[in-house]
Structure 1
Amino acid sequence: MKKLLLVICVLVVTLIVSGCGSEEAGALNKDKLIVGVTGGPHEQIIEKVAEVALKDGLEIEIKVFSDFAMPNVALAEGELDLNSFQHTPFFEEFKEDRGLDLVSVGKTIINPMSIYSDKITNIDEIEEGAKIGLPNDPTNGSRAMLIFEDAGLITLKEDLDEEPTVRDIAENKLNLEFIELDAAQLPKQLSELTAAAINTSYAISHGFVPSEDAIFMESSDSPYANLIAARPENKDEEVVAKFVNAYQSDEVKEFIETEFKGSIIPTW
């Protein structure tokens, strides 16, 4: 009986220690964060954020991804501490589709989606039957449809319950053909199209300067603000607040305004 009690006590102590260890393992390193971004502007900005954070004793390890899916998956699986690459509608839809438990801990920038072309220099030059490219993911595709309407290319159905798609076009006077492609491929396929709506990060990576090269830019009051994402158990940690403060600093804001010349807009 004494041996049995001893074994039980050992098991209880082991479970308690393991439980404490798990809780501690979930906390973030107070001196270093691993942050995921996509290549291009987000990478450039986070490099500047890392400089600012280091002055406050916080080291930032940057991991760069080439697509819009893996930074969220990597964050949810614990490979990253934070990520910074996506706008709010995409974030909310991706979480729901993948069943991920992630939260926003701060807003960052707006990357105005714009329409580009290597064949024409003005949106009014688009002719009947032209091929127009847009992202094939639901969130950015809907964003593109709204931009096409703002540009006067189409009219969308009224009182839509969901984000618009190509099926929700009410009027297409020019009989435009809309080609849905992976967002990252649009700049590379532009030669096959008359024009395309391209995310700023991919446009800049391709060598475009949005404020100079776009034939139509999304309005600056766009609801598609980008954000910093975290796992919910870490959202109130001091180190996360320190990172957000570094991002939303005057120094980073000045860098964005100088480096991107209005093509990217700080939200603070």
Structure 2
Amino acid sequence: MKKLLFVAVAALAALTALPAAAGKIKVGTVPGGYGDSIAAAAEEAKAQGLEVEVVEFTDWTTPNVALQSGDIDLNYFQHRPFLNKAIEQRGYDFADVGVGALANVGLYSLKHKSFADIPEDGTVAIANDPVNQGRGLLLLQKAGLVKLKEGVGYLGSLDDIVENRKNLRFTEVEGPQLVRVTGDVDLALGYPHFIVASKSFDARSGLIYSGIEDKQFAILFVAKKDRVADPDLARFVKVYQNSPKVKAILAKAFADDPKLYALAWLDD
């Protein structure tokens, strides 16, 4: 009996001497620069004992649905206004656990070289979600093509247009798909990292860009509220923010043009 007890104690001591099992998380993101940068961080996290499975989504709805259902632990695709609207509309129990890249947006045309060249009854493709549509409309107003109701801000919609001098006709498109329709319309809202990833045209060819200093549009790492103190999530965010490879991938994703993006956590 004493011998058996000794063996059991020795075995327990051996187990406790082993390194702790590696954590494992699933991170949802979207293709392009965001997805590539998350994949790079996942590789580096693995070397530090954290297994990260990257799950890519092709739309801006499913990543939050998957997070709410517990299919993923963290997502990385949305800025704060988008997150706030999603929480308001769907009742999600989410919070951010870190900040990532700040992406600019622009207005692009493959048919015209200036806003003056856009014809009467011209066609415009714009994001179909409430927040990014409002952001695009503010850019159209900045370009002098439309006038919006006073004070609507980034939550403006097509219904908030009070002046449309050229009688522009709008088509609402899922944000990541805007790059695919740019050649079919006179003007389109565009996201430089999606344009670079598609290799369809030069992401630096926008007729106008939003203010890159507007940090409310920085992409966030988002988790359910009961996971905000999860050390594995914090470890991954730290790996992402401190990785030279991630920074290099983001630079490439934004055409190596500092006017198109910023590393928002550096000024956090």
Asked if these proteins are the same fold (TM beyond 0.5), I'd say yes
Question: Does the 8 Å contact 2:29/2:35 carry over to 1?
Answer: yes
Question: Does the 8 Å contact 2:34/2:250 carry over to 1?
Answer: no
Q: 2:166 corresponds to which residue?
A: 174
Q: Which amino acid aligns with 1:171?
A: E
TM-score normalized with structure 2 length: 0.81
Counterpart CA distance in 2 for 1:149 and 1:125 is 16
Counterpart CA distance in 1 for 2:231 and 2:139 is 39
SS of residue in 2 equivalent to 1:128: coil
Inter-CA distance 84–162: structure 2 relative to 1 (3 Å threshold)? closer
Unaligned residue ranges in structure 1 (runs of 5+) = 1-28
> How far has the Cα of 1:215 moved from its partner?
2.4
Q: 1:206 corresponds to which residue?
A: 198
Q: 1:11 corresponds to which residue?
A: none
> How far has the Cα of 1:201 moved from its partner?
4.5
Q: Which amino acid aligns with 1:230?
A: A
Inter-CA distance 131–72: structure 2 relative to 1 (3 Å threshold)? same
Counterpart CA distance in 2 for 1:190 and 1:162 is 22
Question: Does the 8 Å contact 1:134/1:179 carry over to 2?
Answer: yes
Counterpart CA distance in 2 for 1:33 and 1:123 is 46
> How far has the Cα of 1:242 moved from its partner?
0.7
Greater displacement, 54-63 / 101-110: 54-63
- The count of corresponding residues between Structure 1 and Structure 2 is 240
Question: Does the 8 Å contact 1:114/1:210 carry over to 2?
Answer: no
> How far has the Cα of 1:91 moved from its partner?
1.2
> How far has the Cα of 1:157 moved from its partner?
1.9
1:12-62 per-residue CA deviation (whole Å, 9 max, x = no partner) reads: xxxxxxxxxxxxxxxxx9522110111111111111211332332222110
Aligned to 1:246, which of 220, 239, 244?
Answer: 239
User: What are the residue-to-residue correspondences of 1:225-264 with 2, within 5 Å?
Assistant: 225-251=218-244, 252-260=246-254, 261-262=256-257, 263-264=260-261
Inter-CA distance 233–153: structure 2 relative to 1 (3 Å threshold)? same
> How far has the Cα of 1:160 moved from its partner?
3.2
Indicate whether 1:150 and 2:147 are aligned.
no
Unaligned residue ranges in structure 2 (runs of 5+) = 1-20
Question: Does the 8 Å contact 2:98/2:221 carry over to 1?
Answer: yes
Inter-CA distance 207–258: structure 2 relative to 1 (3 Å threshold)? closer
User: What are the residue-to-residue correspondences of 1:5-154 with 2, within 5 Å?
Assistant: 31-154=23-146
Counterpart CA distance in 2 for 1:160 and 1:56 is 46
Greater displacement, 228-237 / 188-197: 188-197
SS of residue in 1 equivalent to 2:155: coil
SS of residue in 2 equivalent to 1:167: helix
Question: Does the 8 Å contact 1:256/1:265 carry over to 2?
Answer: no
Query: What is the root-mean-square deviation in Å for CA atoms of aligned residues?
Result: 2.2
Q: 1:266 corresponds to which residue?
A: 263
State the percentage of identical aligned residues.
31
Inter-CA distance 143–172: structure 2 relative to 1 (3 Å threshold)? same
TM-score normalized with structure 1 length: 0.81
SS of residue in 2 equivalent to 1:248: helix
1:197-238 per-residue CA deviation (whole Å, 9 max, x = no partner) reads: 123454334324664232222221233111001111111121
Inter-CA distance 216–160: structure 2 relative to 1 (3 Å threshold)? closer
Counterpart CA distance in 2 for 1:200 and 1:59 is 30
Question: Does the 8 Å contact 1:257/1:265 carry over to 2?
Answer: no
SS of residue in 1 equivalent to 2:211: coil
Q: Which amino acid aligns with 2:261?
A: I
1:118-155 per-residue CA deviation (whole Å, 9 max, x = no partner) reads: 21233343233211110111111111101111222222
